[in-house]
Amino acid sequence: MTTTGLPHTTRTDLPRVTDTLELLAPRWSVWVLMTLSAQPLRYTEIKPKLPWLTDGQLHPRLRKLTAAGLVERTAYTPRHVTYGLTDRGTALMPVLTVIAAWGEAHLEKDMVPHPATGKLEPERIPAAQNIEDALALITPRHATPLLWALQVQGTASATSLAAAAMPDRGIPSVYPPLRQLVDDGLVEVTHGGSHFQLSAYGRALAPVYRAISAWAAEDPSATADTHPVWGQTPAPPRTQPGPWITTPSRLPAPPAVAPAAPALSIQPPAAAWKTDDLFSHQIPAHPLALCSAGGPRR
């Protein structure tokens, strides 16, 4: 990926980040990784945890994650095969927590009645779903380079952004991804429509990009705060739920059969990972339906 107008260090950093996003973006990848986060499992143990996936969906996802070096397939006998996270896959788990926390804080939720009191409250979204929906916003081609360019430039014209984030394309090509980022609530139009800047939601992606960058470079997570682009702008504090990025409505989640775990922290946890921590609550019998392209919850 060729970029100009960005710090020199991003010439290798940004491609690594976009490659990581593309690795995680295929649907169900995150669900599979989280399912394997506690311990290696046999296929017959994985299947009940992801009951909505057919063999034709689960087998290819396991193969691709294995080929990517995130999952290890261990054959003890021809009939005893387990799948577990590699060291690289385990190191990715705190990054997923950061992405899930951003989705929990900033993506739209429907208001649903509390089962006991009947009082309306934000619906509970599985952490894996929050991650998938967040990735759907920043994974499309040119989305992340444009967000990085805006983080560097502050306020910029479409011409300036095209030169910085996609110099190999004509200036008109910058408008479709920019419009999508505006529709998704990550970018705002300013100066009477001639310039663009990150919204509060876009600036709040700083911990997400710092965590992904550190993992992609195989650096200690502690170095993420010194990121040349995203290290200087912390996410704005949120003292109460919402308002969230406006998104198309989604099908309601099936009722959880176990109490919700505590909300995920923005910072990677120091303790060992547990499956329940990653999913936030019991995995539903069927995941929430993803919206079609054009809305933040895809």
- In order of start, what are the domains of the chain with their CATH numbers? 10-235+258-279 (1.10.10.10)
Residue recorded with tokens 């090509």: 173
Q: Which of 57-61, 193-197, 242-246, 264-268 has the lowest mean pLDDT?
A: 264-268
pLDDT class of 266 with cuts at 50, 70, 90: very low
Q: Across the chain, what does the average pLDDT equal?
A: 81
Which of 167-171, 172-176, 244-248 is modeled with the greatest confidence? 172-176
Whole-model pTM? 0.79
Q: What is the pLDDT of residue 293?
A: 34
> Is the pLDDT at 134 greater than 70, yes or no?
yes
Q: Is it the case that residue 267 has pLDDT exceeding 80?
A: no
Question: What is the secondary structure of 126-189 as a DSSP string?
Answer: -HHHHHHHHHHHH-STTHHHHHHHHHHHSEEEHHHHHHHH-TTS-GGGGHHHHHHHHHTTSEEE
Whether the predicted pLDDT of 260 surpasses 90:
no
> How would DSSP label each residue in 6-45?
S-TTHHHHHHHHHHHHHHH-STTHHHHHHHTSSS-EEHHH
The mean pLDDT value for 220-237 works out to 66
- Least reliable range by pLDDT among 31-45, 48-62, 271-285: 271-285
Residues 108-120: tens digit of each pLDDT: 888 888 888 889 8
| Whole-angstrom distance, CA of residue 43 vs CA of residue 81 | 7
CA dihedral (269, 11, 196, 206) in degrees, to 10, reads 10
